[in-house]
Every structure is written in C-alpha cells, then in structure tokens.
Amino acid sequence: MAKAYWVVCYREITDCEKMAAYARLAVPAIESQGGRALARGTAVKAYEAGQVERTVLIEFDSIEHAIAVHDSPAYQAAVKALDGGAVRDIRIVAGT
C-alpha cells in the first residue's frame, strides 16, 4: 500500500495567536494518530508561482489514513481554533 502525504501550503498567516492555538492542537492530533511530519517551515526557495510562506509535509500510511486523520474530531478542533488565522490549502497526495 502506498504512503500518502498532506502537502500544506500557506498563502498568508493573518493571526499568529490563532496559528499558535492551531499548532497546540494540531500537532498532537496528527502525531497521536500516526502522522509523521517530514518537513515544516518557510520555503528556502520558491519557483514559478510559488510563495515563500510556510509549507508542511506530513506522511501517513495510506490515503484512507490521511483522510481519516484530517476528518477526525481532534484535528477538526485544531481547524476550528485556526478560525481564519491563515489562508492555506491542504492537498492529500499518494506516494509512488
């Protein structure tokens, strides 16, 4: 079974306090369900239409697992805490 990844690209962080509240809930929600952060931070370099904003890459054992963690009550509580504090998108992609 192929691994799966959350690729989280932040366009803008509008409220650092909400981001911090999100992180306090999101990190344990993801890690307790087996998600593994492979990279997180500001991009070193961005090409084409990329933005040098925060990017996060999280590995999961399967696509179903990645979706289940995103939809879990624990992670959704973190999303609620973020409450517009950032403009971002999360993409779930299959590993090769």
- For the stretch 15-54, pLDDT in tens is 999 999 999 999 999 999 999 999 999 999 999 988 899 9
Supply the pLDDT for residue 50: 80
Alpha carbon distance 56, 42 (integer Å): 9
Residue 96 DSSP label: -
Full-model pTM: 0.91
Which domains, and CATH codes, for the chain?
Answer: 4-94 (3.30.70.100)
pLDDT digits (tens, 9 = 90+) for 70-96: 999 999 999 999 999 999 999 999 998
